[in-house]
Chain A
């Protein structure tokens, strides 16, 4: 099995290309291997979120290609892309973005429901994940009844439920206090090491950078540095 899970080649994202072009991404070529724990860092407006959106299939590049698990995203139709995201990519957002009317358990199993997984399969996976993220005792609580850190842990459980190829986490600790952030990062690091789950962070947070084993720095849409630690 190919060990490269994400590969971007000559990736450009240009706004106002015909007038005054603004390069959100400028010739970004990176490869990310399975089991990585990577932070994409850079100042505001450097293109971190744009890169994650394009890797996650949420946005289209102006030029260049994105290959996930050996599949080129560019040729995919809308529904094909949505299904691909559902099955291959886990998302963790800065503001958690849980479904407020569903419980923690229901949120965690939501993507598996979209996949049409059986009840037994869902129960087994969700029980394991809620336990893994330390939120099993809050399974019946709705997001509004959970703290920010707890909500983000539910978001991680939701992202991991469909057994994705990797998890894209956009500023996952930005809204958390240091203790919650630390607990969340411990848990993600553990899942990365024990389950070999790939995590790609976009972050400003030094706590995330400290734990990342590879840091890609973007400046003005270009890869400024790419260092292994």
Chain B
């Protein structure tokens, strides 16, 4: 009976109730869009970072993490790779040699991180071949190929196919040098990082540095599913307790920090939107109660007790949300689904986004629990919004209320 009456009361003033419900639905839609867009941006940042920098998991010699000396190598590389080959969660593996040295040309020199990569696996894992803006990738026939950024080339005053010299510390502690021919310019969009890293072939670096066979400084791993990172990391740790196995969040704490910052910002936005909806609903419910003072007095006069009156007003507030919440969620879901397929094209700001390590097409996405969280938050908001008007209604004095015109 109370539900029936509350439901009918909502439609007593369809325009006013409709406006509130539309506001709630629009609020939910806006909230979902902002959350989805932010999640899309975070995932874009994380994906770019995983693809170009961290992979999902990296393996190092334990001392290499804090002291990236050339001597801190992973030994028994073949055995490690063999174990990983049997793990179905792992999609790609790429070993790397990493050292720090000097790149110099006839006109100048600069310090750089020298990465020795296996061109085939690296192309699959980091799509390094796609980053080549001019010239060739490292998979050329000729020995001692090197890829550098165009910015670095400008500083060194070199052009494509010219030679540079890499000098770095060999395994025995002596400085070794090698002459490399520039095969191409690469550009990941992050100029500052690009100018500090040069890529050569794994085999070439191993030969010039006189490093041991069957060793590497780093093994980069990507998985089929980002959610299995912890499980795979634990599995690898059990196989190789003597190695440092780190997830992308451990390698790059800025990812987790960025994620947390976005979450905090989102919480603030959620609170602001919920507060706006809260006061909107309170206002409407209060108006509905005040303009019905006489009727509420009559209801109490004929025998409706205060609890039932309280429940009736609360139900009016809750039922309005029961109509608008599914509508808002559906609208938001359709928007997010549509945009996750087509993406939001921000190519106008592509260079800026790339500087931040993001793609120019953002694909909004929302996890299913967020839908429940929004729905629960709205139900709580509607309950809170109903309390004051319901108390106001409950405190109606029938004799006074009935005297009102």
Chain A contact residues, CB within 8 Å of chain B: 49, 53, 56, 58-59, 78-79, 82-83, 85-87, 91, 93, 97, 99-102, 110-111, 113-115, 158-159, 162
In contact, A83 and B301 (Cβ under 8 angstroms): no
In contact, A58 and B398 (Cβ under 8 angstroms): yes
Q: Tell which of B8, B11, B301 touches A85, judged by Cβ atoms closer than 8 Å.
A: B301
In contact, B1 and A113 (Cβ under 8 angstroms): yes
12 residue pairs from A and B, CB less than 8 Å apart: A79-B305, A79-B306, A82-B300, A86-B302, A86-B303, A87-B303, A91-B302, A101-B12, A113-B1, A114-B1, A114-B303, A162-B303
In contact, B306 and A97 (Cβ under 8 angstroms): no
Chain B contact residues, CB within 8 Å of chain A: 1, 5, 8-9, 11-12, 294-295, 298-308, 398-399, 402-403
B193 CB, nearest partner CB in chain A, Å: 67
In contact, A97 and B295 (Cβ under 8 angstroms): yes
In contact, A58 and B399 (Cβ under 8 angstroms): yes
In contact, A91 and B295 (Cβ under 8 angstroms): no
In contact, A53 and B399 (Cβ under 8 angstroms): yes
Q: Tell which of A82, A99, A100 touches B305, judged by Cβ atoms closer than 8 Å.
A: A82
B20 CB, nearest partner CB in chain A, Å: 17
| Cβ–Cβ < 8 Å partners of B306 in chain A | 78-79, 82
In contact, B295 and A93 (Cβ under 8 angstroms): no
CA distance A110 to B308 in the complex (A): 13
In contact, B301 and A91 (Cβ under 8 angstroms): yes
A108 CB, nearest partner CB in chain B, Å: 11
CA distance A11 to B33 in the complex (A): 66
| Cβ–Cβ < 8 Å partners of A113 in chain B | 1
B198 CB, nearest partner CB in chain A, Å: 77
| Cβ–Cβ < 8 Å partners of A99 in chain B | 5, 295, 299
In contact, A82 and B12 (Cβ under 8 angstroms): no
A131 CB, nearest partner CB in chain B, Å: 21
Q: Tell which of A82, A93, A162 touches B298, judged by Cβ atoms closer than 8 Å.
A: A93
A175 CB, nearest partner CB in chain B, Å: 12
Given A58-B398, A93-B402: A85 and B302 interface contact (C-beta under 8 Å):
yes
| Cβ–Cβ < 8 Å partners of B1 in chain A | 110, 113-114
Q: Tell which of B12, B298, B305 touches A97, judged by Cβ atoms closer than 8 Å.
A: B298
Extra contacts, 6 of them, besides A82-B303, A82-B306, A91-B302 (Cβ < 8 A), are A58-B402, A91-B301, A93-B298, A99-B295, A100-B12, A115-B303
